[in-house]
Amino acid sequence: MKKNLLAGILAVSMVAALLAGCGKGTAQNTGTAGTQAAADAAAGTEQASTERAKANEIVIGIAQDLDQSLDPHYAVAAGTKEVMFNVFEGLVKYDSKGDTVPAVASDVQISDDGLVYTFTLRDGVKFHNGDTVDLDDVIYSIQRCKDDPKVNPQTSTGLQCIESLEKDGDNKLVMTLSEPNTELMSLLTLAILPADYDKQDTAPVGTGPYKYVGRTAQESVELEKFADYWGTPGNIDKVTYKINEKVEGLVMGLESGALDLVSHLSSTQVAELNKDNFNIEQGTMNLVQALYLNNEAAPFDNELVRQALCYAVDRQGILDMAFDGYGFPIGSNVFPAFTKYFDESLVGYYEHDVKKAKELLTQAGYPDGFDMTITVPSNYQPHVDTAEVIAEQLKEVGINATLNRVEWESWKADTYAGRNFQSTVIGLTADPLTARSLLERFTTGQRVPDAEGNRGNNFINYNNADYDALFEQAVKCYDDAEQVKIYKEMEKNLTEHAASVYIQDMADMVAVRKGLTGLTFYPLYVLDVSTLKWE
């Protein structure tokens, strides 16, 4: 019923927009006149996209504004990284298979003992401000990410194995480690920035195929093709991201011709689109969507309660009700595309079992259930839809769940950073693309504030000594197969102790205007605009 209601709302909105566009005499636009109005609207859509194609420009719709600071070393939101993937590069970067390939560095040689990495800088790589990249820039960028505790903690802690960074001539960097690190190359996708530039937060400068032009807060972000890019240049000359936190606004933008591409649509939204104008591409979002529970907030400080929720929530029911069956069920904090580390056996660890859920609630002292709040960012309709279905499912076991819809900035400040919540539905990505980045965030070290009051990424306040011990084993393990085994034990620990209610890696439905081709999916949360082109 929910999906039909949403479809009805969108349909009414579209009709209202068409009528409003007819100006005076709208009431008389019936019969032939109404048909003519629809034809005129379609012609307007065609003309708008044709004009952009002639100008070699595209407009992409996104559901959230970027972080206030655009400095890539401090970016928090996945949406910011999704856009700025096109602006920044590291010594290496990810390809569409998730492998690291040469970028600012053209080559790397690794010693037999895994302790010395010698990178050769690519000749003539330029920053977007015209300066040529040199070894000082590279050393500055790596050292900054290693030393500053405000940088992404998974990157900062992972780089602690770097003992020294030394120049060998004008174009070779010798990196010596204190111990081997099997995940180092993924960490070195960190952005290389100019050492003597202090405006990265407002006017970012990188080496990628697109350069930042400007932004209007809550409205748009503009990129343009970088003419001096060292590699294969982008096809599109200008890319504008239009921000609209209202889901119906993105759908209307597509239909009106204002937008050429929108990612992360639900099946309901896709159903509203005129398929004569769009191709629908499907991939995965490469994230872990879950009902994340604050393990320090009652009643979720009780493991039995958390386990009860795992049994009460029907993941397949969520996929069927909110996503037309699309999506990939998961059982812990790793998504399926991360093949080597994904433990499929955990998907069925908690089968939907209302009776078992009620038994656990009774054991925990809640025989009649309880009231709870699910905080969810209102600009992410798939998370809102998921939360709505969960609330309905929890009624079966006596739990009354109320949705608290909040703006994105409020979610980041109060829920994520402030940890002022009981539960929340959100998706977590891997940045960088390592098992460590997905799993370290739940260690005690990421929960307890440091001397300066900075807290890490353990926003659910998970606290498990066995989990911490496994993590210490994993980072000190230099055998890849053994390390994979330990990381899977960490996944199992999260599942057994019901750190959260893991749901799915969502299907990524992307509406692409016909005539625009080249969309490439990656096993991480990015959109590579350099491969897009008008036919």
Residue 121 in contact with residue 138, Cβ under 8 Å?
A: yes
- Number of residues assigned to the chain: 535
Q: Decide: helix, strand or coil at residue 239.
A: strand
| CA–CA gap between residue 70 and residue 84 (Å, rounded) | 8
Exposure class string for 21-42: b at 16+ Cβ within 10 A, else e? ebeeeeeebeeeeeeebeeebe
> What's the CATH number of domain 288-505, 3.40.80.10, 3.10.105.10, 3.30.70.980, 3.40.50.1370?
3.10.105.10
| CA–CA gap between residue 442 and residue 501 (Å, rounded) | 14
Residue 339, both tokens: 């093949």
Q: Any idea which residue has 């911490």 for tokens?
A: 468
| CA–CA gap between residue 51 and residue 206 (Å, rounded) | 30
| CA–CA gap between residue 143 and residue 376 (Å, rounded) | 36
Exposure class string for 98-129: b at 16+ Cβ within 10 A, else e? bebeebbbeebeeeeeebebbbbbbeebebbe
The structural domains of the chain, with segments of one domain joined by +, span 2-65+210-284, 87-203, 288-505
Q: Taking the CB of residue 495, how many other CB atoms lie within 10 A of it?
A: 22
**Residue (of 327, 264, 269) closest to 507 by Cα position:** 327
Task: Give the pLDDT score at 44.
Answer: 56
**Residue (of 529, 203, 55) closest to 212 by Cα position:** 203
- DSSP class of residue 149? T
Neighbour order of strands in the sheet with 220-225? 210-216, 220-225, 238-243, 57-62, 261-265, 507-513, 278-284
Residues of the chain with pLDDT under 70: 1-46, 450-453
| CA–CA gap between residue 270 and residue 338 (Å, rounded) | 27
Q: What separation in angstroms does the CA of 124 have from each of 103, 130, 134, 207?
A: 12, 11, 9, 11
Residue 376 in contact with residue 404, Cβ under 8 Å?
A: yes
Residue 289, both tokens: 């969507």
Look up the pTM and report it.
0.78
Residue 498 in contact with residue 302, Cβ under 8 Å?
A: no
Under CATH, domain 2-65+210-284 is a member of which superfamily?
A: Periplasmic binding protein-like II (3.40.190.10)
The architecture (CATH level 2) of 87-203 comes to Alpha-Beta Complex (3.90)
Exposure class string for 72-89: b at 16+ Cβ within 10 A, else e? bbbbbbbbbbbbbbbbbb
End-to-end CA distance of the chain: give it in Å, rounded: 40
| CA–CA gap between residue 374 and residue 165 (Å, rounded) | 46
Query: Alpha helices, DSSP H only, in 403-497?
Result: 408-410, 435-439, 465-475, 480-496
**Residue (of 243, 224, 241) closest to 233 by Cα position:** 224
